[in-house]
Amino acid sequence: MYIILVYDISLENEQGARVLNRIFKICKRYLTHIQNSVFEGELTPVLMEKLKIELKEFIRKNIDSVIIFEIPQNKKLKKHFWGKIDEKTSNFF
Amino acid sequence: MYIILVYDISLENEQGARVLNRIFKICKRYLTHIQNSVFEGELTPVLMEKLKIELKEFIRKNIDSVIIFEIPQNKKLKKHFWGKIDEKTSNFF
């Protein structure tokens, strides 16, 4: 399945920066970083579950937010870029 | 078409905050704000074009980035929330 992952990690207390750094590093191991707090990529259900377990270790339930959009199998997803384009972003039509 | 919009507005110079504020307000008129710099919602091609024209007035091509994921018509998009859930976010399966 193709997924888009976006996260919003609270930096209100001193833990925030450390959590943000860990979340970023974990996501980079599974997905392509395409913008500030946005990742995309193809994951098997097993990898998705592993990503979930790793992230949940750091996500603080009441203040951090991770949203995953799961794009149905082999469905075409059109992407539009307005402004600078990050070369790493894969273009799939 | 259903879209997910994510933006990354540079705050490096003094314009940044003003641009961010304008971009946020424009997006809120067309879409639902679901996370820090993430919006989602249903747009007609005409509304998409209008949104594009309005945003392009403020996006600074070389330093700001807006990415729009266009989900094919009536395709189911599964969403997973890890951490806090924003009630405004629509849940469509």
* C-alpha–C-alpha distance, residues A42 and B56, integer Å: 30
Contact B67 A34 (CB under 8 A): yes
Q: With bands split at pLDDT 50, 70 and 90, how would you rate the model's confidence at B74?
A: low
B64 is in an annotated binding site: no
pLDDT digits (tens, 9 = 90+) for A18-69: 999 999 999 999 999 998 899 999 999 999 999 999 999 999 988 999 999 9
Q: With bands split at pLDDT 50, 70 and 90, how would you rate the model's confidence at B85?
A: low
Q: With bands split at pLDDT 50, 70 and 90, how would you rate the model's confidence at B91?
A: very low
Task: With beta carbons less than 8 A apart as the criterion, state whether A19 and A66 touch.
Answer: no
Task: Kindly list the domain boundaries of chain A, sorted by start residue.
Answer: 2-71
Please check whether residue B76 touches A, CB under 8 A. Answer: yes
| Residues of chain A contacting residue B70, judged by C-beta atoms under 8 Å apart | 77-80
Does the structure's ipTM exceed the value 0.90?
no
pTM across the whole model: 0.83
Class of CATH domain A2-71: alpha beta
Q: How far is B34 from chain A (nearest CA, A)?
A: 9
Tokens of A60: 């603080």
Q: How far is B12 from chain A (nearest CA, A)?
A: 14
* DSSP classification of residue A39: E
